[in-house]
């Protein structure tokens, strides 16, 4: 599958936006009165953050911006 530099750059922008939202979600959930009630949602968000960070790093590598 051939992916253009423009498509990679746009994917990177979208990943950055999603990462920001996920990080804010984690902050919000951890800041709640009883964050242990949200442990599964926090864990899921943290795992998604890591997955998006890996995807972003691979895009950066592909774009040659390391």
Query: What is the token pair recorded at 49?
Result: 């953050």
pLDDT of 65: 78
Percent of the chain having pLDDT more than 90?
Answer: 95
pLDDT of residue 23 exceeding 80: yes
At residue 57, what are phi and psi to the nearest 5 degrees?
-65, -40
Q: Calculate the average pLDDT of the chain.
A: 96
pTM of the model: 0.90
Residue 17 has pLDDT above 90, yes or no: yes
Burial class (CB in 10 A: 0-12, 13-18, 19+), 8: middle
Q: Give the confidence band of 59 by pLDDT, cuts at 50, 70, 90.
A: very high
User: At residue 66, does pLDDT exceed 80?
Assistant: no
């Amino acid at each position: 599958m051939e992916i253009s530099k423009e498509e990679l750059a746009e994917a990177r922008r979208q990943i950055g936006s999603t990462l920001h939202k996920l990080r804010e979600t984690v902050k919000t959930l951890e800041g709640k009165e009883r964050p242990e009630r949200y442990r599964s949602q926090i864990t899921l968000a943290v795992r998604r953050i890591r997955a998006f960070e890996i995807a972003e790093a691979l895009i950066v590598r592909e774009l040659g911006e390391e």
